[in-house]
Structure 1
Amino acid sequence: MIFLKKFEAKGFKSFADMTKLNFDSAMIGIVGPNGSGKSNVIDAIKWVLGEKSIKSLRGKKSDDIIFHGSNSKPKSEFAEVTLTFDNTSRVLHIDLDEVAVTRRLYRGDGNNDYFINGEQVRLKDLLDVFVDTGLSKGSLGIISQGTINWFADSKPEDRRTIFEEAAGIGLYIRRKEETLRQLERTQTNLDRLTDITKELQRDIKKLEVQASKVKEYKEKKEELTKLEISIIVKDVVAANKELDYVSKMLNESRNSNITLEPKLNALIEELIIYKDKLEQSDIKVSKFSFELNEIINKINKLEIEKSIIDNDLKLDINSSDYSSKVDALYEIIVNLDKEINSKKIILDRNKNEFEIFNNQLVELDINRNDFTNSIYDLTTKNVTNKTNLTHLEDTLRNKPNHDGGSKAILNNKDALTGILGSVMDFIKCDPEHAQAITIALGKNVQNIVVNTIRDARRCIDFLVNNKAGVTTFMPVYEMKPKLIKPEHLEIMQHIDGFVGVASNLILKLEKKIQPVIDSILGRIVIATTLEAASEISKYTFSLYKIITLDGQIINPQGSITGGYTKLANDGFIGLETRIKEVKKVIESEEAQINKLRIKLKENDLASMELRNKIAERKANIFKFDDQIKNLETEMIKYKLEYEKLSKKAYEPLEGNKSEFTLINEKLNLLLNTKEKVENDLYANQNNKKLLKKKIYEIEETIDLTRKAIDKNKDIILEFDKKELKNINIIDNAKNKLNDTYKMTIETAIESYSEPLTISDNVARQKIEKLNKEIGYMGNMNMDAINELKEKSERYDKMKAEELEIAEAKDDLLNSISELDKKAHEDFSNTINKINEELPKTFKYLFGGGDCRIEYTDPNNILTSGIEVKACPPGKHINSLFALSGGEKTLVALSVLFSILKISSFPLVILDEGESALDPSNVERFANIIHAFSNETQFLVITHRPLTMEKCDKLYGATMLTKGVTTMIHVTLSDAIKNYANDKPDAE
Structure 2
Amino acid sequence: MYLKSLELHGFKSFPERTVLHFSGGATVIVGPNGSGKSNITDAMRWVLGELSTKNIRGSKMEDVIFAGADDMKPMSFAEVSVTFDDSAEPRTLQSPYEEVTVTRRYYRSGDSEYFINRRKCRLKDIFELFMNTGIGREGYSIVGQGRIAEIISRKSEDRRGIFEESAGIARFRYRKIESEKKLAETEANMERVADIEAELAARVGPLEKEAAKARKYLELYAEKKKVDISLWLYEAARLKEAIRKSTDDTALSAHELEMAEDSLKVTSSLIERLYEQSRDNKENSRRNRDSISDVSKRMNAAESEVKLLERESQHAGVELATEEQLAGAAETSREQESERLTQLKTRAGEIDGEIAAAEKRYAEHTERLAELDRSIKARDAELEKSLGEQKDAENRLTDLRVRLNVLENSIQNQKKRSETIGSDLEKYEAEIAECNRICKEAEDTAKSYREEAGKIADRLSESAERIAAIRRESGGFENEARELQADIASLESRIAAMTKMVEHFDGYNNSVRYVMNEAKAGRLGGIRGPLSSLISVEKTYIPAIETSLGGALQNIVTDDEGSAKAAIASLKRSGTGRATFYPITTVRAQERGREYDGVDRARGFLGWGDDLTDSAPEYRTIVKSLLGRLAVFDTLDNASDAARARGWRIRAVTLDGQQINAGGSFTGGTTKRDSGMLSRSAEIDRMKRERGEAENKLAAVRDKIREAGEKIDAIGKENGGEEERMRLMNVLAGTEEKTYSDADGRRKTLLELTEGMKKDAAGLDESSARSEEEIGRLKLSVEETERKIGEIRAEREETGAQRGQDELEAAEIGERANEERIRLAELNRDREAVTESIRETGERGAEQESAAENHRKKAEELRARIEELAGQRKEREDEAARLREEIGGLDGRQKDLDAAVDEIDTRLAQLRKTEQEQISKKDLTFVAHSKNEARLNSLKESEQKAHAALWDDYELTWATAVRFSEENDCPAVADGERSKTIALQTELKGKLRSLGHVNVDAVDEYNEVKTRYETIRTQLSDLRESRADLENVIRGIERDMKTMFLDAFGKINTYFGEVFRELFGGGHAEVILTDPENALESGIEINAAPPGKTVKNLNLLSGGEQAFIAIALLFALIKVNPSPFCIFDEIEAALDEVNVSRVGRYVKNVSKDMQIIMISHRRGTMDIADTLYGVTMQKSGVSKVFTLGAGDDREKYLK
**TM (normalized to structure 1)?**
0.49
The higher relative CO (CA closer than 8 Å, separation ≥ 6) is in 2
Q: Based on CA coordinates, which of the two structures has the bigger radius of gyration?
A: 1
Greater share of helix residues, 1 or 2? Answer: 2
